[in-house]
Amino acid sequence: MSETGKSIADSRLTISALMGPQDANTQGNVHGGIIMKMADEAGALVAMRHARTQVVTVVVDSMTFVEPIYVGDLVHCNAELTYVGRTSMEVRVEVAAENPLNGTLRITNVAYLVYVALDSHGSPTSVPHLIFGTPAEEARAQEARERQQLRKRQQRH
């Protein structure tokens, strides 16, 4: 880690939870809201670890559920930064469902969430820049910059 920036690995994390009947509908499918909450918590923790301050969620890009998640699945939300602006941070959250009995793992969805760092008065505050360690991280950052530009264009309309 440099004095003015932090690597993606410095804040990357995974949160996991076993899905129970309280998380599902009568067919045993986990409610999307449960997964969205987990993804937001993982994303916010990554942003807080990077900024070392409170953050607020400002954008949740579309979250498409490719595969259902069932009661008994162990859900993992793997989160890492993809982009850092002056006060905002984009986090990629990959959601995977694991059957703990046979070890199969399915990627159920990927979401991009944007957070803004807040100072002690609740105003936006600057964050450390992001240091990329691999070409894949740099490629994801370029895609994130394009998403951020699209978000800004959509705000103007």
The tens digit of pLDDT for each residue in 63-101 reads: 889 999 999 999 999 999 999 999 999 999 999 999 999
Between 39 and 157, residue with greater pLDDT: 39
Q: Which domains does the chain have, with CATH numbers?
A: 5-156 (3.10.129.10)
Range ranked top by mean pLDDT from 46-55, 57-66, 132-141, 145-154: 46-55
The tens digit of pLDDT for each residue in 21-68 reads: 999 999 999 999 999 999 999 999 999 999 999 999 999 987 889 999
Whole-number Å distance between alpha carbons of 134 and 70: 35
**Confidence band (pLDDT; 50, 70, 90) for 116?**
very high
Both tokens of 58, joined, read 């400002």
Predicted pLDDT at 154: 83
- List all residues 6 or more positions away from 100 whose beta carbon is below 8 Å from its beta carbon: 18, 72, 73, 74
**Confidence band (pLDDT; 50, 70, 90) for 2?**
very low
Asked whether the beta carbons of 86 and 38 are under 8 A apart, the reply is: no
Predicted pLDDT at 1: 39
Query: pTM higher than 0.85, yes or no?
Result: yes
- List all residues 6 or more positions away from 155 whose beta carbon is below 8 Å from its beta carbon: none
